[in-house]
Amino acid sequence: MKPKLQVLDQEIRTLTKDGFEYICITDIARFKNREQTDDLIRNWLRNRNTIEFLGIWEQLNNPNFKPVEFDGFKKEAGLNSFTLTPKQWIASTAAVGVISKQGRYGGTYAQKDIAFEFASWVSVEFKLYLIKEFQRLKEHEQQTLGWDIRRNLAKVNYLIHTDAIKENLIPDELTKSQIRCIYASEADVLNMALFGITAKQWRDQNPSLSGNLRDHANVHQLVCLANLESLNAHFIEQGIPQSERLAELNKLAIRQMRILSVAQGMLLVDKEI
């Protein structure tokens, strides 16, 4: 489910299809007239400038667009007798910049540039707030994506970590329960080095939270964790005792978190400037 935009107390739905981001212009139309959204969209489509804008967008982004049918609409646009619905535009020209969805939660969606154009026709003020809210949403999605990438990196590095444990710390004669204890013990070496707490201690302190300690880590912590996993695997292969590894990993974690925090502060200053 794609997140919704909140613009001047109006909820605006969004969706992504085939690499294009769409905004529901039916929801935008409700800002002006909640009862006649379809009429507003059809009136906008009747405008010659709208038809030309839609045609140029399709020619730039849609190799299957039908220019002959587009020329026919462009010639009729502006005439009193000319009418056009989103469905007619899509069916006749094979347009992809506009989507018509059926059902209870349906409506007309337009690619973001087209939606901004429609919003300008409805209200210049609304358009400006819409663009600002859309940009905020994109920034949030990028931050979330960055977190996911770093979380997956930590998981990949954890495989290297567990392989080092398997090859160097687990004798053949141990039971499955004992092996799990070794893996958990080594995982907590990383947890203690970075977070100063074991997985069990975190669960006991946060019974209402789902997931585990690492699922609630921030981006900086995940970057540092990925580094610590690789380093601990190297230390294990060298035969360094666990207590010595923990002490060294803790020093490295403190140093790396300081560096990452300073770097983040510099980025924020540059952004403000």
Alpha helices in the chain (DSSP H): 25-32, 37-46, 48-61, 67-76, 86-93, 112-122, 124-168, 176-195, 199-205, 219-237, 242-272
Are the CB atoms for 133 and 5 separated by under 8 Å? Answer: yes
Report the alpha-carbon distance of residue 30 to residue 47 in Å, rounded.
Answer: 19
CA distances from 86 to 7, 54, 247 (A): 24, 11, 65
Res 54: pLDDT: 94
Report the alpha-carbon distance of residue 62 to residue 55 in Å, rounded.
Answer: 10
Res 59: pLDDT: 93
Res 168: pLDDT: 64
Report the alpha-carbon distance of residue 148 to residue 224 in Å, rounded.
Answer: 14
pTM of the model: 0.52
Tens digit of pLDDT per residue, the chain (273 long)? 466 788 777 888 988 888 788 999 999 998 887 778 889 999 999 989 999 999 999 999 999 999 999 999 999 887 888 889 999 999 999 999 999 988 777 899 999 889 999 998 988 888 888 888 887 777 666 655 544 545 555 555 555 556 655 666 555 565 677 767 776 788 888 888 888 888 889 989 998 888 788 788 877 787 788 788 878 888 888 888 888 988 998 998 888 888 776 655 544 434 444
**221, two tokens:** 């912590």
Res 147: pLDDT: 47
Please work out, in degrees rounded to the nearest 5, the angle formed at the alpha carbon of residue 20 by the alpha carbons of 91 and 37: 55
Res 63: pLDDT: 92
Report the alpha-carbon distance of residue 135 to residue 234 in Å, rounded.
Answer: 43
Res 137: pLDDT: 74
